[in-house]
Amino acid sequence: MPLVDMRDLLRHAHANRYAVGAFDLVDTRMLEGILVGCERAGAPAILSVAESHFRHFDPGPVLAACVAAARRSPLPLAIHLDHGESLESIERGIALGCNGVMLDASHLPFAENVRRTRAAVELAHACGVPVEGELGYVAGAEGEDAELHPGEIVYTSPDEAEAFVARTQVDFLAVSIGTVHGRLRGTPRLDLERLAAIDRRLGIPLVIHGGTGLAAEQYRALAERGVAKINYFTALADAAARTVHAAAREDPQAGLLRLLRDVREAVAAETERACRMFGAAGRAGEALAACRPWREVEHVVLYRPREGLDGAELAAMVEEGRRQLAKVPGVRRVFHGRKVAGRDDWPLGWVIRFASAAVVEAYRDHPLHLAFADGRFRPNAPERLSLDLEEW
Ligand code: 13P
């Protein structure tokens, strides 16, 4: 199950001066293409979903597919929420399977960016999940996604970057040094001196948004100056779209399956090309060895209901538990069940999935859990057996 800790993955890339591609995907066809491309390149990767795209697809099933695919893959992979807009988005992303999240408040004044990012860090770190913040602003030029990033580029200042990281405790910082989201107009001019200065000051993995459209030597120059994650979307989307246009030209009556037939291969080829340009090709084995596996935890509570608890009361308690416990950050699934086989000691039980072992403590002390456990559950379940099982 090479779903790995994104901190370890990006620290390895940062220390070894290559960049991991964070490939934004919008459906399972892109997911398959990205994984094929990374396997051909032997590259670690980040499967990424951008909140700005959620009007086009439901992140629940797509993230479930990412988790399932990552577990089957031989590559070290992490799953990331890109451009998270709010604390609620961060919480939801973690619940749906992300083990890295971005809070993007880069369009706001410095103090407000710090305040919101700091809150996201507190929430995500309590779940064991690392956070990317952004300082400076990466605007859009044109193409698939660009209109979602209006305005002009604001370059990241090294002084502010240092203060931002110290105050927010982000694990990775997205910086603005001349790239734009979407398609580029003309030749991009990157401020590599600024990037090198930020890297010297911070010493944490840096992130580039607007990864599409640079020259191979520019990607190398970024990685040499501390960029460990490059966000990449438009080039994949354009490669996919070109095959759809070609199929439609070839046969104006083409059905959906014909139109989409070559999408996966186009995405795979572009992904492989990107991994090679980022210096990530051939790094999967060493990166995997350097990364802690990402392990979920199942919190198991077996219980016997108190004498005299009637069926309606029990059902109401279970319903409240399902509702309230699912709201605790880091909880991915709340299951309540009754025994269908085995010993009679414990006729009922909860199995609650946590994003990681860090959630054990945060959950125990969380007001929603305490209110349910002390106010409703424990009085009705005097005999209990609970344990936390880490995946192993
Ligand atoms: P491009 O679409 O320019 O590759 O940028 C992707 C990105 O930065 C997503 O966060």
Cβ–ligand 1 contact at 233 (below 6 Å): yes
Q: What is the pLDDT of residue 95?
A: 98
Question: Nearest C-alpha to atom 1 of ligand 1 is from which residue?
Answer: 210
Contact 384, 355 (CB under 8 A): no
| Residues of the chain with confidence (pLDDT) below 50 | none
Same domain, 141 and 32: yes
Q: What is the pLDDT of residue 188?
A: 81
Q: Could you say which of 262, 290, 318 is where a domain stops? A: 290
pTM above 0.85, yes or no: yes
Same domain, 273 and 382: no
Place of tokens 């291969």: 265
Please state, in angstroms and rounded to a whole number, the distance separating the CA atoms of residues 266 and 238. Answer: 9
Q: What is the pLDDT of residue 180?
A: 87
Residues 335-360 have pLDDT tens digits of 999 999 988 899 999 999 999 999 99
Same domain, 329 and 264: no
Same domain, 66 and 175: yes
Going by C-alpha positions, the residue among 215, 210, 180, 178 that lies closest to residue 194 is 178
Same domain, 83 and 178: yes
Ligand 1 geometric centre to CA of 357 (Å): 32
Same domain, 307 and 279: no
Please state, in angstroms and rounded to a whole number, the distance separating the CA atoms of residues 390 and 2. Answer: 15
Q: What is the pLDDT of residue 149?
A: 78
Read off the CATH number of the domain in which 46 is found.
3.20.20.70
Ligand 1 geometric centre to CA of 72 (Å): 26
Q: What is the pLDDT of residue 343?
A: 85
* CB-based contacts of 159, cutoff 8 Å, min separation 6: none
Q: Does 82 qualify as catalytic in the annotation?
A: yes
Residues 90-121 have pLDDT tens digits of 999 999 999 999 999 999 999 999 999 999 99
Same domain, 125 and 154: yes
Q: What is the pLDDT of residue 1?
A: 61
| Tokens encoding 291 | 């990364």
Read off the CATH number of the domain in which 301 is found.
3.30.70.100
By residue range, what is the domain housing residue 17?
A: 6-290
Q: Could you say which of 275, 290, 305 is where a domain stops? A: 290
1 falls within a domain:
no
Cβ–ligand 1 contact at 106 (below 6 Å): no
Please state, in angstroms and rounded to a whole number, the distance separating the CA atoms of residues 175 and 198. Answer: 9
